Chain A
Amino acid sequence: QVQPRLIIHGGAGNITPASLGPERYVAYRSSLLTIVSKAHTYLTTPTQSNYNSPSSSSKLPSALEAATYAVTLLEDNPLFNSGHGAVFTRDGINELEASVMVSRGQAKRGVGVTGLRHVRNPILLAKKVLEHGKDDLLGRGKKLDNNTGDGEPDVPSAQGHTLIHGPTAEKLARQYGLEMVDPSYFFTQKRWDEHVRALEREKREQQDLLGAGTASGVSATWSKDEYLPQG
């Protein structure tokens, strides 16, 4: 048997001790330690549900369950650019993306979902699409007959598709019974302020550049003075 292992990340980019400051350094550090410890405990503790059913012996969670559990903790933490605390597009909305991939098996192993606006934990949708899609791909698909009550026919299932976008992805999320939220759930003032500040800086600098008659190379997606999440 192999010793279970785990590593997590919360983003990379133009992060400097000066722009982060001591308080936020401590906040990020303690969040990372808490999340990695919780997730590692989950990964190395036999799942309780198995204890109740006498037939099956208690089993350790799979890498898929542990990795997606760790990411839900990161998505729920407003410090990190995902889920609650996600960044905004130029138009001031959140568009979320997620993916999972496992190392074993030659059938469908990797899935991506994108353009999400109402799924509380996008990583759980990616996990469901991988789990269902694999069944469908191998002909063992479960008939999804839980109508979402929106008067439209259910999406048959994720099939063997690898990358699913927007409304169809969100319809699948409803069919899989995942938690759906209003887009305002993802809002945090810090991300909104970064969004507005970067657009204003871009506008100011473009006016300066136009005034000087040089081409604008300014972008509202990155700053040399502060860390703007790049994704």
Chain B
Amino acid sequence: TVGAVALDVEGVICVATSTGGMTNKLTGRIGDTPVVGAGFWAEEWTEEGDPTSPHKNGSRNPLYSPGPAVVLSDALKRLIADCLPSPFLYTPTLQDSSGGLTTTRSIGVSGTGNGDSFFRVSAARTVGAIARYSSLPSVVALTKVAGPSGELQKSADDRWGKAGEGEGGIIGLELVVVRDASGNVVETRSDILQDYNCGGMFRAWIDEEGVAYARIFRKD
């Protein structure tokens, strides 16, 4: 399977995926690639405040009105810190709702791997649902599904490591647009998402400075 996730200048995210399917599949077997929510997903939603705002070392982002900081549990902090390249601490701030910020989040993800396992957990939709309904950064949501010991791997039960059950990876993009009470954009953030639970994933991306990266393993 191959896939691409693009974010355009208008803030729209599109996911495109194409495949020959599984080697030696039954003729007539349909995989996850053409099935919405299994092998691909894209959506946009709005939420109060900016719960996934990144804070470095706990310092408060000047964008936020002072409010009681909801400190994340250490485990969740460790999970987020493990997933992110640099030691970010997420300290969502309860937003003073009168005249607060609103955030529009968009996400697009493309999956590859054992399609029958992606069906079983509606893998692509689950990434969006965890990000949206737990107000977690999409990078964390994606790892919870496609990362080591994530939902995909768990779906294989004792068949993990046999016949490819549960194996796979997902790539994606997230866009966060924060607006003040007057609707002015005060911040936009975009994030490259990627994780897998198997030997490797062929992938490449361009970072915000325009530098191209290609990876197959974790640290190649």
A: residues with CB less than 8 A from B are 1-17, 20, 25, 28-30, 32-33, 35-37, 39-40, 43, 60-64, 66-68, 70-71, 74-75, 80-83, 85-91, 93-104, 109-110, 112-115, 121-123, 126-127, 162-163, 165, 186, 191, 194-195, 198-199, 202, 217, 219-222, 224, 227-231
Least CB separation from A6: chain B residue: B6
Contact (A222, B16) CB under 8 Å given A2-B8, A70-B4: no
Complex CA–CA separation, A12 to B170 (angstroms): 9
Which chain B residues lie closer than 8 Å to A230 at the CB level? 1, 22-23, 112-115, 164, 167-168
Residue in A36, A91, A114, A162 whose CB lies within 8 Å of B36: A162
Contact (A71, B4) CB under 8 Å given A9-B203, A90-B27, A222-B164: yes
Q: Do B20 and A2 touch (CB < 8 A)?
A: no
Contact (A89, B26) CB under 8 Å given A82-B1, A102-B42: yes
Residue in B12, B18, B20, B172 whose CB lies within 8 Å of A62: B12
Complex CA–CA separation, A227 to B21 (angstroms): 14
Q: Do A4 and B198 touch (CB < 8 A)?
A: no
- The CB with the most chain B CB atoms within 10 A, among A43, A94, A98, A231, is that of A231
Query: Could you pull out 8 A-B pairs where Cβ atoms are within 8 angstroms?
Result: A5-B190, A9-B203, A95-B27, A96-B19, A97-B31, A98-B33, A115-B28, A163-B34
Contact (A221, B1) CB under 8 Å given A2-B8, A227-B199: no
Within 8 Å of chain A (Cβ to Cβ): is B90? no
Least CB separation from A93: chain B residue: B27
Complex CA–CA separation, A11 to B19 (angstroms): 9
Complex CA–CA separation, A89 to B171 (angstroms): 26
Tell me the smallest distance from the CB of B78 to a CB of chain A, in Å.
Answer: 25
Q: Do B23 and A87 touch (CB < 8 A)?
A: yes
Tell me the smallest distance from the CB of A55 to a CB of chain B, in Å.
Answer: 20
Q: Do B16 and A4 touch (CB < 8 A)?
A: no
Pick the 10 closest A-B CB pairs, nearest first. A86-B20, A112-B34, A12-B169, A10-B202, A15-B200, A222-B164, A12-B201, A74-B2, A63-B14, A70-B4
Which chain A residues lie closer than 8 Å to B114 at the CB level? 13, 222, 230-231
Which chain B residues lie closer than 8 Å to A186 at the CB level? 20
Q: Do B16 and A6 touch (CB < 8 A)?
A: no
Q: Do B4 and A89 touch (CB < 8 A)?
A: no
